[in-house]
Structure 1
Amino acid sequence: MGSLPKIAIIGGGPAGLTLANILQKNNIPFSLFERDASPNERNQGGTLDLHPKAGQAALRKAGLWDEFIQHARPESDVLKVVKPDGEVLWDGNAGQTPARQDDNNKNTDKFQRPEIDRQKLKDVLLRHLDERNLYYDKTLDSAVPNGQADSWNLHFRDGSIEKEFDLIVGAEGAWSRTRKLLTEIQPFYSGISAIELWALDVNEKHSWMVEYVGQGSLFSFGEGRTIQIQRIGDGSIRTYACLRKPEGFIKDCGIDWTQPDAACRELVERYYDDCGADLKRMILNSTDNLIPRPLYMLPVGIKWNPRPGVTLLGDAAHLMTPFAGVGVNAAMLDALELGNSLVDLKMGKIQTLSQAIEKYEHGLFPRGQAFAQKTINNLKVHFSADGCNHLSMDS
């Protein structure tokens, strides 16, 4: 190519921001385009754990490890499992562990898989990026081949055009427009709808929740429904009531989701009335915010034929449901591997941009398939009558 490629990253979530940090650290120029008007326009979600060979490795490569550990919450990597009838199957806060331990439980290093709030992770990823390379309120409308060279022109919904990019990296999530350059496959409904419920200032307003949930997460699995609860570092707790229902459930069920108190009462009466008292109370008292959403996914094992100058990261490449807790780790690992390929291109270890993309996608497809299959397996188990008992077998 004779010079470094001109790179456009579409999307400012964990995948896009991780890649941007790796490129910046290695003096590889890029432009990142994000549809939100500002970095914190939207709620970033709850908490997650970053795995040593995925999210943590990407942060190390980007030079952000020290800052990450300042905001991580290793004490929150604790699990409590409660059967739907309220029986506590085990409680990591009391030192109990599952009968069969996975890799997470075997390692005693407190930073093996620490929790971090999604908002804090985004803050870490944004803090050291050169703002001159970040463009907000930029929604991609289309990417058009440049007739004068083997490059792309980007057309945005505000009418602006950015020209002559050698590489477009689609990291804009579930409904990626970049994906349309590579495949006609689109996300489909997973069969699960989730109701996200917030309880704010729990130490002052709901101290019983703090004691009941513990320091980390509480899971309750059953036939066709789950309750998953997370402690957040800002003093709030988020409860996710998930149901196996038809795609139109949220719109067609007749519950007015704009009225959280009434909606939570009706949700419990219809779908959780036979649950333990404290599980029901978690839903009934978590009314500070309510967000209903159907969950979508891409087919397990999605692939596409290579196309010069285009590739995908994260949800754009392998959208999956959250029931294995690997989505952000998969996205950041994608960014790490693509970043490594582009660094190799810069160093002359790879000769062409097409070869760099081919190397990245050669690992992307089987890796994405493995993560997605794990999520499918967990979904089936979690929404089964014996889901809590099977939790210790999840790898």
Structure 2
Amino acid sequence: MRVAIVGGGLGGLTLARILHRHGLGAAVYERESHRAERTQGGSLDLHPESGQRALAAAGLEARFRSEARPQGEEHRILDPAGRVLVHHRPRPGSFAGRPEIDRRVLRDLLLDSLPEDTVAWDHRLVAAEPRPDGGFRLAFHGGRHADCDVLVGADGARSVVRPLLTDATPSAVSTLVSLTVDDADRRHPALADLVGPGNLWCVGERRILSGQRLGDGSIRVGISLPADDRDLDTYRSKRALLDLFAGWDPRLTALIEAGDGPPVPHRAEVLPVGTRWPHRPGVTLLGDAAHLMPPVGEGANQAMLDAADLAAALAADPADPDAAIRAYEEAMFARVQPIAEMCVRVQAMMLSPTAADDLVRFFTPRPAD
């Protein structure tokens, strides 16, 4: 059984790792030319029931604990005047919750756990066609080809594999802008204190200014706005961003001013909630390729759980991969739909006119009955 995984992100690498543990080989085709070609974004909190469960299936739980930051769970929400609305402090050193880990560190952890020749770098898929005797022929940019018996699309929002199964396409849900403040403790100690060891959200009317501490001491600054039709170049100017937060406490907008380099904007997109497809032999999707959700903390966790569940199904019955894929898909559809619905509600709440009040209620523990 030749398994081809298109996409070397967290979901694709988790699938390859767990298959490898079961003695099933897989080739991962990644469009980037090498592992350090681009930054991998900020950090993420791995949930016990999904991301951490997948890492346990991958045999990487101890490695994860050595790299993760439980203190990164600390979370503060402020209003535009700088008043603290919510301050969550995790129990020191506890891994019982959702510890943070940098995306780059987690990806490297997965890459290092695989045989060296597992990932074929600089392989951008341009087409996948069914073969007359079953399986698929993959065509890559530059004229290279490969054949496989099982094709897994783990290639994200703009998946090339997805059209083999469904005509669902993503639509924009918000505009995100990111900046980075390097060496914050030494160069910007006031901002380092403001953000703390975890996450800071400064919440106004239909806009959020955030800061996230990374393991290397930098701060990833984020701006979240409702989706609009303006050209993304509008958001490449710090001056234009500062105008969006006119009247906010200067201690907060200093996060924008301190950014090293120009702002980097992009559209956050989602697939329609409940996206499904009829089973097709030999091919399936996982992660953002299957169920692209608003960026509220579930995407990577669900992608890794997809990978763990698909790997378990294939390993349980390697002689009948189609039955394994069918079982995986039905379980995945049922699991993901309520999570995607929740993510849509949270996204709408975060960018609503009453976001501050809504988030305080959302994050305030309810009294026990």
Fold in common (TM above 0.5): yes
1:236-284 CA deviation, whole Å, 9 max, x = no partner?
0011111114133414x3x5x2xxxxx2122112x10022221111112
What displacement does 1:106 show? 10
Which residue, 287, 307, 317 being the options, matches 1:345? 317
Question: In the alignment, is the contact (CA less than 8 A) between 2:172 and 2:227 conserved in 1?
Answer: no
1:274 maps onto 2:247 in alignment: yes
Residues 106 and 345 (structure 1), Cα distance of their counterparts in 2 relative to 1, 3 Å cut: farther
1:48 maps onto 2:22 in alignment: no
1:183 maps onto 2:155 in alignment: no
Which residue identity does 1:299 align to in structure 2? P
Which residue in the other structure is 1:8 paired with? 4
Which residue in the other structure is 1:244 paired with? 226
Q: How many residues align?
A: 363
What displacement does 1:39 show? 1.3
1:150-182 CA deviation, whole Å, 9 max, x = no partner?
11111111101112x111000011100000100
> In the aligned structure 1, how far is the partner of 2:153 from the partner of 2:92?
35
Which residue in the other structure is 1:101 paired with? none
1:357 maps onto 2:325 in alignment: yes
Which residue in the other structure is 2:210 paired with? 228
> In the aligned structure 1, how far is the partner of 2:245 from the partner of 2:229?
20
Residues 249 and 375 (structure 1), Cα distance of their counterparts in 2 relative to 1, 3 Å cut: farther
Q: Which runs of 4+ in 1 moved over 6 A?
A: 105-108
Q: Normalising by structure 1, what TM-score?
A: 0.88
* Residue correspondence of structure 1 range 62-81 to structure 2 within 5 A: 62-81=58-77
Unaligned runs of 5+ in 1: 96-104, 258-262
Residues 393 and 166 (structure 1), Cα distance of their counterparts in 2 relative to 1, 3 Å cut: farther
Which residue in the other structure is 2:115 paired with? 130
Percentage of matched positions with identical amino acids? 37
> In the aligned structure 1, how far is the partner of 2:29 from the partner of 2:362?
37
Which residue identity does 1:240 align to in structure 2? G
What displacement does 1:286 show? 1.7
Which residue in the other structure is 1:260 paired with? none
1:84-121 CA deviation, whole Å, 9 max, x = no partner?
232111333xx5xxxxxxxxx79994342110001100
> In the aligned structure 2, how far is the partner of 1:67 from the partner of 1:107?
19
Question: In the alignment, is the contact (CA less than 8 A) between 1:330 and 1:371 conserved in 2?
Answer: no
> In the aligned structure 2, how far is the partner of 1:370 from the partner of 1:281?
38
Which residue in the other structure is 1:87 paired with? 83
1:116 maps onto 2:89 in alignment: no
1:264 maps onto 2:238 in alignment: yes
1:200-246 CA deviation, whole Å, 9 max, x = no partner?
01111101111111110001223221112100111100111111141
Question: In the alignment, is the contact (CA less than 8 A) between 2:221 and 2:259 conserved in 1?
Answer: yes
> In the aligned structure 1, how far is the partner of 2:267 from the partner of 2:154?
21
Which residue in the other structure is 1:318 paired with? 291
Which residue identity does 2:69 align to in structure 1? R
> In the aligned structure 2, how far is the partner of 1:118 from the partner of 1:179?
24
1:259-316 CA deviation, whole Å, 9 max, x = no partner?
xxxx2122112x1002222111111222335211111111111001111101001010
Computed over aligned residues only, the root mean square deviation of the Cα atoms, in angstroms, reads: 1.8
What displacement does 1:343 show? 1.2
> In the aligned structure 1, how far is the partner of 2:149 from the partner of 2:20?
17
Question: In the alignment, is the contact (CA less than 8 A) between 1:34 and 1:135 conserved in 2?
Answer: yes
> In the aligned structure 2, how far is the partner of 1:14 from the partner of 1:69?
17
